[in-house]
Structure 1
Amino acid sequence: MNVPRRALALIVLMNLGYLPVAMRHLLVVLLGHHNTGSFAAAGAASAACGIGLALTAPVAGRLLRRLGDRPVLLASGVGHLVALLGLAVATDPWVFVAFAAGAGLSSPPVMGSGRARLAVVVPAPALGRAYALNAVAQELLYVGGPLVVTLSLLATGPAGALLGFASVGTAALVATAFVIPRAPGDARRAAAPTPPPGRATLRTLLGTHLAYTTCMGAMWVLVPAFAAAVGHPDQAGMLVAVWSAGSLVGGLLLARLGRPGTPGAAYLGLLGTLAVTSLALPLPRTVAQMAVVLAVFGLGLAPWLAVTDEILARATPAPRLAEAYGWLLTAGQLGTALGAATSGAVNDRFGNAAAFLVVGAALVLALATAVTRRRTLRDPGTPPVGTDRIPDPVAPAGPAG
């Protein structure tokens, strides 16, 4: 697939480094109830994690540009590890919530750093496939992570599970810090005095991503609610797995076949596909019917996220790219919270089928935003050094796949 081996290693390591953050909400809820005996404290701690991450993600991205990837990753990794260790032993609800907030605030920007540096390691023609592979890796993370959490709980309990994930994540984070390529200092200086080109593109992506993640936040509430409504609450996990499997297949197809057309056209086409396929979500009346609808709906998820990353990488000055990904993460946290809260209220008042209209409405809003601002999504090409992209400082080690 013409993706350098160094890029493949970076994708694997940064996703493993992100593992404690990805599974943190689940682990914090389980551990919070175990340690404090209160689901209220567990829920507050989970919310504190998300708020902390939303607040500091852009700041961490800016620090990556100013201080370099390695010191920021290592320093934040130490702070995050200390906060996780505190969570493992805290039994007072307020102390537990405080450590959870600390974990959110100190979240290592490993995904922002890694995604930004893919644009350094990967030649422009293969960049779309590299981001598709990263989207596949993220799907594997969210499919396999909960399973590993379950097995860890049986073997070690919540505290042991948290410490195990923290150990794996910290080791991968350190490895990422030493594998990740450094940005040339002259490129950083050249981009600093001027406003970044691609700011309009970033605004478009942020607005669209906020609406998209509102849809995702709603789905995490409504899929379990559907399973309960049809009398099979135990099938909620299976439905989520089918949904993720559809996304995984879509990502693999994109990585194998490549992006159709220009990044902007693919972005609009995939977003339109998500909006259209979401219209079937209110229709199923059985678990089997919903499984089919979710599998089809999932096909466009990973490819669209991969194209989002590619557009951002092509439109943003390389030294500022990690910060841009931080803002995207902040928008994602806000949208997820909005979608979860809105869909839960609609589900309780009007029923599950009507609540799925929140998903469709959010995606239609995302599509309308993108179509209205489609000129900002045009492929900017490969810009001059010091403005949009740092030239590839390493020769690819050879094609993989």
Structure 2
Amino acid sequence: MNVPRRAMLLIVLMTVAQLPVALRQLLVVLLGHQNTGSFATAGVASAGCGIGLALTAPLVGRLLGRLGARPVLLATGLAHLLALLGLAVTTEPVAFVALATVAGLSTPPAVGSGRAHLARIVSTPALSRAYAVNAVGQEVLYVGGPLAVTLSLLISGPTAALLAFAVIGAAGLVGMVTVLPPRQDDPQPAGRRSALPGRATRRTIVGTHVGYMISIGAMWVLVPAFATTVGHPDQAGLLVTIWSVGSLAGGLLLARRGRPGTPGGAYLTLLGILAATSLALPLPRNVPQMAVALALFGLALAPFLAVTDEILARSTPAPRLAETYGWLQTAGQLGIAAGSATSGAVNDHLGNTPAFLVVSGALALALVVALSRRGTLRLPSAAPPAEAVAPAVGAGGRGFVRDEAG
């Protein structure tokens, strides 16, 4: 795939470090009900995790640029681990919610830091493939994670599951710290800095991302609601898995074949595909039909996120890139909350079929915003990052950097 081995190792460790964060809200709900006996407390605690993450993601990203990745990752990782360990033994409702909120506030910026560093250790021509591999890793996490939770619950229960995933995530975070390159105040040469498109591009991406994440938040409500409506609530997990597998397939295709055309053109095309395929979601009347619709809708998800990461990496000064990913994360949390609340209300008042129009409407709005600002998505011609070896020597002379240190 022409992705340096060091970058591949970083992606693997980043994915492992993200494991307790990805599964945290599910485990907090299960553990909250077990420890406090209340789903209401569990729900508030889960919301506290998300709100805490949304509040601190940009701030922690800014600290990454100012202090470097290692001290920030280690400090937040320790605080996050202690908060999760506290949740495992807390039975008092107020304390449980407080610790869950602390866990959200102290979320280690593993993904933001890892994505930012990929832009430093991967040559620009290979950057789209690197972010596609990262998107595939995230999809594997979200496909396999719930299955791992289910298995661990059968073996040991939510307390042991939370502890196990917290320790595994901490080990991945420590491993990630060891492979990150040393801090540089500004790893981009002056010529490349002057060519960066600037704030307009980042505003377009973050603004469009809100609409995209509204659709995702709606899907998390509407897919289980569909399964219940057709009389098979037990099939909700299967449908979500099929949706993720479609995204995984799209990410693998992008990682193998590379991004066609320019980043801006690919971004608009993939967003258009998402909007178009979402129009099929109100049509199914049974689980097999919905499985097909979800698989098709999922195909463009991981590629769209990979191109989003690439555009931000190529349009943001390196010291601010982690902070920009933090703002993207905050926008995502707000979008998910809005999509979940809106789709749930529409589903209850108008039914499940019309509620899927919330997904299409959010994506259509995102597409309109992106098209109206498509000029901001034009990026400068590809240039190797500062840490790349000058004339890159690749297999067959294709110009990709080889990272022998990996």
Match among 379, 399, 402 for residue 396 of structure 1: 402
The question of whether the paired residues in 2 share the 8 Å contact of 1:4 and 1:399 is answered with: no
Query: How many angstroms apart in 1 are the aligned matches of 2:388 and 2:199?
Result: 23
Query: How many angstroms apart in 2 are the aligned matches of 1:142 and 1:243?
Result: 11
Deviation digits for residues 288-318 of structure 1 (CA, Å, limit 9, x no counterpart): 1101111011000000000000000000011
The question of whether the paired residues in 2 share the 8 Å contact of 1:65 and 1:188 is answered with: no
Residue 399 of structure 1, CA deviation? 12
Match of 2:16 in 1: 16
Match of 2:254 in 1: 254
Query: How many angstroms apart in 1 are the aligned matches of 2:243 and 2:264?
Result: 25
Query: How many angstroms apart in 2 are the aligned matches of 1:183 and 1:318?
Result: 11
Query: How many angstroms apart in 2 are the aligned matches of 1:374 and 1:144?
Result: 36
**Paired residue secondary structure (2:220):** helix
**Paired residue secondary structure (2:127):** helix
- In the superposition, relative to structure 1, how do residues 254 and 56 fare at CA in structure 2: closer, same or farther (>3 Å)? same
Q: How many residues align?
A: 394
Off by >6 Å, runs of 4+ in structure 1:
188-191
Is 2:293 aligned against 1:287? no
Deviation digits for residues 70-110 of structure 1 (CA, Å, limit 9, x no counterpart): 00000000000010011000100000000000000000000
Match of 1:379 in 2: 379
Query: How many angstroms apart in 2 are the aligned matches of 1:189 and 1:263?
Result: 22
The question of whether the paired residues in 2 share the 8 Å contact of 1:121 and 1:396 is answered with: no
Root-mean-square deviation (CA, aligned residues, Å) is: 2.0
- In the superposition, relative to structure 1, how do residues 16 and 216 fare at CA in structure 2: closer, same or farther (>3 Å)? same
Query: How many angstroms apart in 2 are the aligned matches of 1:339 and 1:326?
Result: 20
Query: How many angstroms apart in 2 are the aligned matches of 1:314 and 1:37?
Result: 49
Query: How many angstroms apart in 1 are the aligned matches of 2:253 and 2:197?
Result: 31
Query: How many angstroms apart in 1 are the aligned matches of 2:6 and 2:189?
Result: 26
* 1:1-400 correspondence to structure 2 within 5 Å: 1-185=1-185, 187=187, 198-382=198-382, 390-392=386-388, 396-397=402-403
Query: How many angstroms apart in 1 are the aligned matches of 2:63 and 2:190?
Result: 17
The question of whether the paired residues in 1 share the 8 Å contact of 2:124 and 2:383 is answered with: no
Query: How many angstroms apart in 1 are the aligned matches of 2:305 and 2:159?
Result: 33
Structure 1: runs of 5 or more not aligned: none
Deviation digits for residues 235-287 of structure 1 (CA, Å, limit 9, x no counterpart): 11111111111000000000011101000000000000000000010000011
Query: How many angstroms apart in 2 are the aligned matches of 1:390 and 1:189?
Result: 6
**Paired residue secondary structure (1:23):** helix
Query: How many angstroms apart in 2 are the aligned matches of 1:262 and 1:136?
Result: 21
Query: How many angstroms apart in 1 are the aligned matches of 2:380 and 2:315?
Result: 6
Residue 198 of structure 1, CA deviation? 2.0
- In the superposition, relative to structure 1, how do residues 201 and 151 fare at CA in structure 2: closer, same or farther (>3 Å)? same
- In the superposition, relative to structure 1, how do residues 186 and 135 fare at CA in structure 2: closer, same or farther (>3 Å)? closer
The question of whether the paired residues in 2 share the 8 Å contact of 1:3 and 1:399 is answered with: no
Query: How many angstroms apart in 1 are the aligned matches of 2:49 and 2:253?
Result: 34
What is the letter of the counterpart of residue 95 of structure 2?
Answer: V
- In the superposition, relative to structure 1, how do residues 188 and 99 fare at CA in structure 2: closer, same or farther (>3 Å)? farther
Residue 391 of structure 1, CA deviation? 3.9
Query: How many angstroms apart in 2 are the aligned matches of 1:214 and 1:393?
Result: 41
Query: How many angstroms apart in 1 are the aligned matches of 2:325 and 2:3?
Result: 21
**Paired residue secondary structure (1:18):** helix
Query: How many angstroms apart in 2 are the aligned matches of 1:255 and 1:355?
Result: 33
- In the superposition, relative to structure 1, how do residues 189 and 121 fare at CA in structure 2: closer, same or farther (>3 Å)? closer
Query: How many angstroms apart in 1 are the aligned matches of 2:371 and 2:255?
Result: 25
What is the letter of the counterpart of residue 392 of structure 1?
Answer: A
The question of whether the paired residues in 2 share the 8 Å contact of 1:275 and 1:364 is answered with: yes
Residue 186 of structure 1, CA deviation? 5.1
Normalised to the residue count of structure 1, the TM-score between the two structures is: 0.95
Deviation digits for residues 167-200 of structure 1 (CA, Å, limit 9, x no counterpart): 0000000010111112323548989x99x85211
Residue 154 of structure 1, CA deviation? 1.3
The question of whether the paired residues in 2 share the 8 Å contact of 1:314 and 1:381 is answered with: no
What is the letter of the counterpart of residue 208 of structure 1?
Answer: T
Query: How many angstroms apart in 2 are the aligned matches of 1:199 and 1:390?
Result: 21
- In the superposition, relative to structure 1, how do residues 184 and 190 fare at CA in structure 2: closer, same or farther (>3 Å)? farther
Query: How many angstroms apart in 1 are the aligned matches of 2:386 and 2:80?
Result: 30
- In the superposition, relative to structure 1, how do residues 36 and 227 fare at CA in structure 2: closer, same or farther (>3 Å)? same
